[in-house]
Amino acid sequence: KISQLQTLFLSFVSNAVENPQASLADTLLISNSEYDTLINKWNETKSEYDGSLCVHQLFEKQVEQTPDNIALSFSGVELTYSELNQKANQVAHYLLSKNVQPDQLVGVLLDRSIDMIVAMMGVLKSGAAYLPLDPTYPKDRIEYMLQDAQVAAVISQSCHSNYIENLSVNQLLIDNHKNTLKILPNTNPVTSVNANNLAYTIYTSGSTGKPKGVMVEHKNVASFFHAMNQVITDKKGVWLAVTSISFDISVLEIFWTLARGYEVALFSDAQRKSSKKVCTAYPKQDMEFSLFYWNVADDESEYDDDAYRLLLESAKFGDRNNFKAVWTPERHFHSFGGLYPNPAVTSAALAAITEHIHIRAGSCVTPLHHPIRVAEDWSMIDNISKGRTGIAVAAGWQPNDFVIMPQNYAKAKEVMFESLETVQKLWRGETLEFPGHDGKNVKVRTLPRPIQKQLPFWITTAGNPDTFRQAGEVGGNILTHLLGQSVEDVAKNIEIYREAYKAAGHEGDGHVTLLLHTLVGDDDEKVKELARAPMKKYLTSAMFLVKAAAWHFPTFKEVSENTGQTLDDFFENISEEDLDGILEFAFLRYYETSGLFGTPERCLAMVDRLKEIGVNEIGCLIDYGLDTDNVLNHLPQLNELRKLGIQQEGDTNTEEDLSIADIIETRNVTHLQCTPSMANMLVADSDCADKLKSLKHMMVGGEAFPLNLAKELTAKIQDTVTNMYGPTETTIWSSTQTINANDEKIYIGKPIDNTKVYVLDKFKKPVPINTPGELYISGDGVVRGYHKRDDLNAEKFINNPFDNDPQSRMYGTGDLVQYNEQGIIECLGRIDHQIKIRGYRIELGEIESLLLNHQSIADAVVILREDTPNDKRLVAYITPATGQKIDSVSVKKKLAKDLPEFMVPSVFVELKSLPLTPNGKIDRNALPAPEQKKQSNSRASFVKPENALQEKIVTTWQGVLNLEKIGLDDNFFDIGGHSLLVVEVLTKLREIIDKPVKMIDMFRFPTIRQFSEYLSAEQGENKKLTESEDRAKARKDARKNTMNRRRARQK
């Protein structure tokens, strides 16, 4: 050290003597020789490549070479290079028909699937750039990115259409437009795009509270691909793609591999889904399917003796095919429910001709009936059906219905709840008194006595959050619909319902039934044509739905903007032509977003979305004016959807549910890239750790790479482990370092081809070897800049003073690094408040900004802590505003609506005031370590374990989470758990539970009650599982054999 100081001092004196007029800031501490080494010698990375090619053109060159090789595999489906190219071309031609242009952005909002890759490649082939959008992100964040990016179009799917319903741009719902795409050309389109145009824009966390878009050009990516060819030298391989497309390392996983001739084995959303997505929704379970009737008829309708054939025949079909229930409505003095005067009448008939299916009222308008009659009618049906009844109660829908009981109209909702309470008491056998004709009370007890001890009941609501809350409070189920509500609206209301349900102390989670207009067939376009006329007639009788759609109708928008005309004014003077136009517009809108229409495969996307938000049952409304034979002929396709929509008992080893270990084995994976956080999870899982041995090359990057993890990986992987480093602003990775088993330090290595790096002081001067400084990166990977952020571009992308090229720029990373004597860079941390967690770069200021907007918080600061090795956590320190109390649970929920799961602090520490430095700044180093919580702060009512299995799970959670008190209904992810701790929990559980459990099981069943019930049910089905597991193994072996044969042919 003394000799080094001597050298620095002599260099400084020499430079000062040589340039006596220079300021101290401009006087270097290094010699000319060392300067040359740092600036020139260690940056000799120039390498020739064709920089004129775009990303998709590199892929097209590979298609020409290996058209029949497997390009992409996902959930048992494979596409060759030729097939992928043709599908992407059709998407490109569709976008070109919408006049997208180079440098315009097209949003890609899709679940991980083959369609996602096709869409991304199709956008590039159209000449536009793609904007990756992860559906697991909060809606507000996605909407902000779409608006800020000024997208020209969006490619999505029907289950995510609520994100884009208010966006006035071209929209391609790829699952709805299969037939449209099929007829488009599948040849490579010719466009004017060149390497200077944008390839993609990725949004990263921003310190102002809003994410910022990083604009990356084709030439940046082409340079990066060339550099990776030198780092990853294997000519062939299978790459397991595990990263969200909103994270830029997905570009290497997907596009470099496809330009190189690899197979991309795409990992599904089910495995890579964040804990937030799973635990703010509800564990996926079997979706129940029921049949719903709501006949559209009026006084002028003609009836024959065939009028009830649809009701009777479809009910028998549902009974034979394991549908859950049949629902029949109340007669309205309107065109709804014209054939069904009273659900008790129709239900009695259905009970007599069925054996298994449940019989329900959908709905019974209780303010129109005396509770004695309701109780006795349904008690009789309960007897006929041998205990298969249930009723949904409603306050009323059509004012004219109250001709029966006009005195109840004004207070219908109040009467509904009072009547329900009375019906329940009578059902239970209580004797109640009612006023008689002479004013004296008469005692009444229900006869016949029902089979079921409790009457299953639903509260019907059109979307009023208050009704959802009341239903939860009284312990009822929910019956609602998507007309007038979006999926997002229903999701929020379900959350309100379930919070109220649990707060009231009711067992379980309740039950949500969602009514959907339904027609499932073999051809999407034929289904649309069959549904068009009856749906438009249906909408004509419900003008409130048409008016809701009219807000988005171009003609109304134009009239409203030009004249200020209101919606009611518009409809008063509407022409027949405009009305038909609006009806068509409304039909298409509801067809795309609010029903089960099309092929079973298309409808499955909606089913999966509804599972995620907590819907338990879909009431398939099949009776809305369609021809009876058409409905009956399409019931088999609906049954096919029902089968697809449930998880087959025992068949848990489907391709989509395979773990990383399974995919590595079945696809013969050779390459994997992931963050250190994910790598930690893989080595902690014994199955995964064993399979890692077969990898040829594992790349780890995106955050600090712990030395002990590096040693574990090099011990398991026989070939190469590489540490990858680079910010999004310089195109994915900018330096790499091969890890050796005997390394005692982890370095980020040397710059890749055509990249230059500089370690500079605050005056932008190079610092000596072994001296910390900020890392600046220059070269062909430096991107265009931030979208619409000229101020930030001027600050972060500056002219490169070390390059003779006046166009050369360099990017200040904010990372604190130093060179060693061999020219290898070591990363020491950050010089600002930007951090990385689980591979995601986060501006802590964005989180702090949102916290400071909360009414109960006066001051806030967020830091990354690692109080336990390998357990990095975001910790928020907050102080209360005057007169306010901070509810950390509600604060966390508010953040979860605005931020991705990985940006929501897992711990909140309330302080009276934040510690300050002498100059008045927040002293982050003085912030106290969070106190170890002795019990969870969950709002769930505390319930003790009820059996030995639950006690084992509780004990395991307590040890991992360091909590003394955990209840059965506490959510693992709400009380401090995260994906890394899931691995620790499962490792311990496997030692004490004689059953294989997967990580995905913890995400699906995040409470001890749910998890233990799942384990118990699985154990009870072991005998049934054996045959299913054998079948699954046979399928798995068959897939493997098929792949081996295909690979043999390719060789």
For residue range 583-617, what is the model confidence (pLDDT) as tens digits? 787 788 788 888 999 988 888 888 988 988 899 99
pLDDT band at 240 (very low <50, low <70, confident <90, very high): very high
- Classify domain 948-1020 at the CATH topology level: 1.10.1200
Least trusted range by pLDDT, from 52-61, 777-786, 880-889: 880-889
Q: Residues 1039, 1045, 1049, 1051: what is their CA dihedral angle, to the nearest 10 degrees?
A: 90
Report pLDDT for 568. Answer: 58
pLDDT at 656: 41
Judged by average pLDDT, the poorest of 400-414, 439-453, 570-584, 689-703 is 570-584
Write the pLDDT tens digit of every residue in 1013-1026: 888 765 554 444 44
CATH number of this structure's domain 838-926: 3.30.300.30
ω into residue 135 within 30 of 0, thus cis?
Answer: no
**pLDDT on residue 1025:** 42
Provide the 10 A C-beta neighbour count for residue 808: 15
Q: Give residue 281's pLDDT.
A: 34
411: DSSP letter: T
Judged against a pLDDT cut of 50, whether residue 557 lies above it is answered with: no
Residue 563, pLDDT score = 55
Residue position matching structure tokens 């901070």: 886
Most confident of 97-106, 584-593, 606-615, 906-915: 97-106
| Domain residue ranges in the chain | 55-279, 285-522+599-644, 532-595, 670-832, 838-926, 948-1020
**Confidence at 932, pLDDT banded by 50, 70, 90:** low
Least reliable range by pLDDT among 353-362, 410-419, 658-667, 1018-1027: 1018-1027
Does the domain at 670-832 match CATH 3.40.50.1370? Answer given as no
Average pLDDT over residues 217-246: 95
- Which residues are paired to 818 by β-bridges? 826
Q: Which CATH architecture best describes the domain 285-522+599-644?
A: Alpha-Beta Barrel (3.20)
pLDDT at position 511, please? 96
- Dihedral sign for Cα atoms in the order 1037, 1040, 1041, 1042: positive
- The arrangement of secondary structure in 55-279, i.e. its CATH architecture, is 3-Layer(aba) Sandwich (3.40)
* 427: confidence class by pLDDT, cuts 50, 70, 90: very high
Is the whole model's pTM more than 0.85, yes or no? no
Q: How far apart are CA 649 and CA 655, in angstroms?
A: 15
Digit-coded pLDDT (tens) for 123-161: 999 999 999 999 888 888 899 999 999 999 999 987 788
Q: Given this model, what pLDDT does residue 1028 score? A: 45
pLDDT of residue 272: 44
pLDDT on residue 283: 44
Rounded Cα–Cα distance for residues 835 and 864 (Å): 7
Burial class (CB in 10 A: 0-12, 13-18, 19+), 286: middle
335: its two tokens: 């065109």
Distance CA 702, CA 705 (A): 9
Per-residue pLDDT tens over the stretch 856-882: 888 888 998 887 666 678 999 998 887
pLDDT over 50 at 978, yes or no = yes
Looking at residue 749, its amino acid is G
Q: Specify the pLDDT at position 71.
A: 97
Domains 285-522+599-644 and 948-1020 share a fold: no
Task: For residues 794-814, give the mean pLDDT.
Answer: 94
Q: Name the residue with higher pLDDT: 980 or 835.
A: 835
- Cα 239 to Cα 672: distance, rounded to the nearest angstrom: 6
Helix (H, G, I), strand (E, B) or coil at 802: coil
Mean pLDDT of 547-561: 48
Residues of the chain with pLDDT > 90, as a percent, come to 46
Positive or negative torsion for Cα 687, 693, 697, 701: positive
- Asked whether the beta carbons of 516 and 159 are under 8 A apart, the reply is no
Return the minimum-mean-pLDDT range out of 343-352, 618-627, 693-702, 885-894: 885-894
**CA dihedral sign, ordered 565, 570, 572, 577:** positive
Task: Name the most confidently modeled range: 329-338, 682-691, 1038-1047.
Answer: 682-691
Of residues 328, 349, 358, 357, the one with CA closest to residue 340:
328
Tell me the C-alpha distance between 600 and 644, whole Å.
Answer: 8
Compute the 3-state secondary structure of the chain and give helix, strand, coil in percent, each to the nearest 5: 45, 20, 35
* pLDDT greater than 80 at residue 398: no
More confident residue, 486 or 285: 486
d(CA 959, CA 951): 12
CA atoms within 13 A on the CB side of 390: 21
User: Which burial class, exposed, middle or buried, applies to 300 when counting CB atoms under 10 A from its CB (0-12, 13-18, 19+)?
Assistant: exposed
Q: Which of 171-180, 373-382, 407-416, 618-627 holds the top average pLDDT?
A: 373-382
Q: In what order do the strands lie in the sheet containing 212-217?
A: 170-173, 153-156, 105-109, 129-133, 198-204, 212-217, 785-786
Residue with the bigger pLDDT between 917 and 702: it is 702
pLDDT at 336: 55
Residue 363: cis peptide before it, omega within 30 degrees of 0: yes
pLDDT at 661 (0 to 100): 84
Alpha carbon distances (Å) from 923 to 600, 809, 877: 58, 34, 12
Surface-to-core class of residue 287, CB atoms within 10 Å of its CB (0-12 exposed, 13-18 middle, 19+ buried): buried
Query: What would the mean pLDDT of 707-725 be, rounded to a whole number?
Result: 90
Q: How many Cβ atoms sit within 10 Å of the Cβ of residue 122?
A: 30
How far apart are alpha carbons 11 and 29 in whole angstroms?
6
Residue-wise pLDDT tens digits, 241-288: 999 899 999 999 999 999 999 999 998 755 444 322 322 334 446 799
Is 591 within 8 Å of 528 (Cβ atoms)?
Answer: yes
Q: What is the pLDDT of residue 313?
A: 95
User: Where would I find the H helices in 66-111?
Assistant: 81-97
**pLDDT tier, 29 (very low <50, low <70, confident <90, very high otherwise):** low
Q: What is the mean pLDDT of residues 710-725?
A: 91
CA angle 970, 972, 973 (to 5 degrees): 115
Would you place residue 1041 in the very low, low, confident or very high pLDDT band (cuts 50, 70, 90)? low
What is the pLDDT, as a whole number, of residue 654? Answer: 38
pLDDT of residue 556: 45
Beta strands 325-328; 358-365: pairing state? parallel
Mean pLDDT (the chain) is: 84
| Averaged pLDDT, 791-812 | 94
Q: What is the share, in percent, of the chain residues with pLDDT greater than 70? A: 84
Distance of alpha carbon 667 from alpha carbon 256, whole angstroms = 19
